Structure 1
Amino acid sequence: MTRTFFRWLSLLMLLLILSGASLAIAAENQIYTIKKGDTLWDLSKKFIDDPYYWPNIWAKNPEITNPHLIFPGQKVQILDGRLKIIPAYPEADKQASTETDDQKTDLSTMETETEELITIKAAGSGDGFILTDEVPLGVLVDSVDNRLLLTKDDLVFLKMKDLSSVTIGDTYGLFERGEQVKHPHTNEVFGTMMNNLGFLQVTEINGDTVVAKIGSAFREIQRGAEVFEYVPQRNEIVLQRGTTDKGGYIIAARDKKETFSTNDIIYVDLGSDDGLVSGNLFYIARPRKASDEVIKKAGPIQLPDAVLGAAIIIETKAKTASAIIIKSVNATFIGDKVSIVTN
């Protein structure tokens, strides 16, 4: 009787152990379905209590383009203190090969109807640009009174290089030249920082002189301000897939900042000539250096770059672009690397 009791007790304990192990494995292999509004930052904080883990998910899941771009319906596996994105719709290609033409049309329609444009807030004004090969369209030569500093609603006179292209109602941007910008990796002059002063609208054309009214002033405006194409301030930017995998560097920042993070404006040495457009996403990274101790033991070793954050292109010129940092996990500096997201 005693021997039988101990056999049943041992069997019960074994079942409890196996059941506990199964529960632990189930917890470790939990599958979470992404909901609208989720980001990798949120998921890292929720499941492994470390919101700063999300760059590792980027590095280990190349199909993810942006923590803001994971979409409802994707699956996340919580595995041994890690988060792993399950590839979206892995059977899609197989199913597509067996579908009828009518079924394919229906699916295409469904995708179009449910797809949402993703926008990023881009608050601020007067971001400016880096002048390289661009040529001013004209110059502000005078105003209707003798005041040195001009502002909104003041009437001014412009001298335009091509008067035949100017019509009443045209809007132009006003800029002043700032400091020269040197490339951080060559130390050669790359361009000139152009500070955005505001914009004006043509009200009259009198002979060779163009009369215009200042519509807005971001800074104090003086005679000699240069006239360039007007680009309306963007309050929201629609994300667009990149078409180039060319890499570059951060070469300047607004307001002469030396370190920058989320919501700061930066400038890169890539532009429309490289295929960039407003809305392109790029990663910011910095080479990771091995310690002297590691080098002594393992010899020279090249480690993967450390991901610092991500930014969105605001405006492009031929060779440069301005961008706003949308996520930062570490301080960013001039000279840090940028790589456009294309997938």
Structure 2
Amino acid sequence: MRKSIISLALALGLALPAFSDTLTLRADAPTRYTVVKGDTLWGISGRYLKSPWKWPQLWRMNKSEIRNPHWIYPGDVLVLTYVNGEPRLTLEKGAQGDIKLSPQMRMDDIDQAVNSIPAKAIEPFLKRPLVTDQAQFQSAPVLIAGPEQRLAFGTGDKVYANGVTEPGSWQAFRPGKPLIDPDTKENLGYEVVYGGDLVVDKISPDVQTLRVTGIAEEILKGDRLVKAPKDQFVRYVPHAPDNGVQGKIIAIYNGVDGAAQYSTVIINRGSREGVESGHVFGVFKKGKPMEITAADGQKKVVLLPAEPGGKVFIYRVFEKVSYGLVMESATELNKGDVIAAPEAE
């Protein structure tokens, strides 16, 4: 699969909020830093800032730089300077040279650019899992048969479907769990389970022939088929939500109990609430109840204040829910933890 490039250069056209707060540099921030393979913009900025997600501010990205971005590659040298007393990173190009963004740029050049966040941690989620409503899912094309009347199919198997109307690549899904808002109890959609990939061999009016090209978990008779999305570049520049949106973690991918760095979590806010790719949320742990003795000698239960638990970077947004990558975790993050703008810390 083509690498999903999430670099500074792909910030084209993305409006950034105005930053009014002062950047806080780390005491050990290097004056010069040579970019190495495996670096991310978040990680590099963590060498300079106490809040790494504010790297667009450190770069002093303006509209001109966003329209004509430069690429950052291993071997490039970052130099810490000051402009009107404010810190700024500038770039000295390394052996890769100063490559200009153009339609003729080779894909190999793009793939070597430094990513904003770890691309490998989110690539499996950019095309799957899929969140849909139940009615839409039930109306999708369905696998009706395979070889030797088997119920499960493997790579290379010829299978048959009903409802496929387009050639090309398709993905198999089966019903998963509903995503329920913990406060309103609203059904926010169904997270369906990805089974594998298929390609169309022949389209006939009633029955279509496909071949299984890859298995993720398993492909079963009765699975629904969804047209595979086209490869696309993902454009992420981290920024805080500016509309005061708050929510909760409602699930941790793969059903584990707690999330740590680079885990994927699902929040109960999506595009209808103004959430967008690149939003950074702080995660806050609910304060625990504690019994105390008041001044009058009476015992009572009080709630300790909420404590910051980490940072979540939103990378995929649906209408009512969003997927986020845990970038920082001071403690285990759990279902029910509150998400809000990181400035609220």
Letter in structure 2 aligned against 1:320: V
**1:66/1:176 CA distance change after superposition, 3 Å:** farther
1:184 corresponds to: 182
**Percent identity among equivalent residues?**
16
Letter in structure 2 aligned against 1:159: N
2:323 corresponds to: 322
Aligned partners of 1:323, 1:220: CA distance in 2, in Å?
Answer: 26
Aligned partners of 1:198, 1:176: CA distance in 2, in Å?
Answer: 10
Aligned partners of 1:122, 1:226: CA distance in 2, in Å?
Answer: 27
TM-score by length of 1: 0.59
Aligned partners of 1:267, 1:30: CA distance in 2, in Å?
Answer: 35
1:273 corresponds to: 272
1:338 corresponds to: 339
- Deviations 1:29-73, CA, capped at 9 Å, x for gaps: 978456546657657xxxxxxxxxx9xx44xxxxx6358986655
Give matches, 1:11-26, under 5 Å: none
2:136 corresponds to: 135
SS of the residue aligned with 1:122? Answer: helix
The question of 1:65 aligning with 2:53 is answered yes
Aligned partners of 2:227, 2:143: CA distance in 1, in Å?
Answer: 14
2:150 corresponds to: 147
Give unmatched runs, 5+ long, in structure 2.
1-25, 34-38, 60-77, 87-97, 102-112
**1:66/1:150 CA distance change after superposition, 3 Å:** farther
**1:68/1:308 CA distance change after superposition, 3 Å:** farther
Offset of residue 251 of structure 1: 0.9
**1:220/1:332 CA distance change after superposition, 3 Å:** same
Aligned partners of 2:219, 2:30: CA distance in 1, in Å?
Answer: 54
Contact 1:117 1:239 in 2 (8 A): no
**1:334/1:31 CA distance change after superposition, 3 Å:** closer
Equivalences, count:
259
Give matches, 1:151-166, under 5 Å: 151-160=154-163, 166=165
- Deviations 1:200-220, CA, capped at 9 Å, x for gaps: 222211123222222221111
Contact 1:121 1:237 in 2 (8 A): no
**1:141/1:289 CA distance change after superposition, 3 Å:** same
**1:337/1:122 CA distance change after superposition, 3 Å:** farther
2:106 corresponds to: none
- Deviations 1:142-169, CA, capped at 9 Å, x for gaps: 2243122112222222222xx6xx3322
Contact 1:286 1:336 in 2 (8 A): yes
> Moved runs in structure 1, 4+ residues, more than 6 A?
294-297, 299-304
The question of 1:215 aligning with 2:203 is answered no
Aligned partners of 2:302, 2:312: CA distance in 1, in Å?
Answer: 29
Give unmatched runs, 5+ long, in structure 1.
1-28, 44-53, 59-63, 76-87, 93-109
Give matches, 1:163-312, under 5 Å: 166-169=165-168, 171-231=169-229, 238-242=235-239, 245=243, 246-288=245-287, 293=292, 305-312=306-313
User: Which deviates more from structure 2 when the two are superposed, residues 176-185 or residues 196-205?
Assistant: 176-185
User: Which deviates more from structure 2 when the two are superposed, residues 248-257 or residues 66-75?
Assistant: 66-75
SS of the residue aligned with 1:118? Answer: coil
Aligned partners of 1:296, 1:89: CA distance in 2, in Å?
Answer: 54
Offset of residue 193 of structure 1: 2.8
- Structure that is richer in helix per residue: 1
Letter in structure 2 aligned against 1:131: T
SS of the residue aligned with 1:145? Answer: helix
User: Which deviates more from structure 2 when the two are superposed, residues 242-251 or residues 197-206?
Assistant: 242-251
Contact 1:141 1:224 in 2 (8 A): yes
Of the two, which has the highest radius of gyration? 1
**1:290/1:296 CA distance change after superposition, 3 Å:** farther
Offset of residue 138 of structure 1: 1.7
**1:254/1:68 CA distance change after superposition, 3 Å:** farther
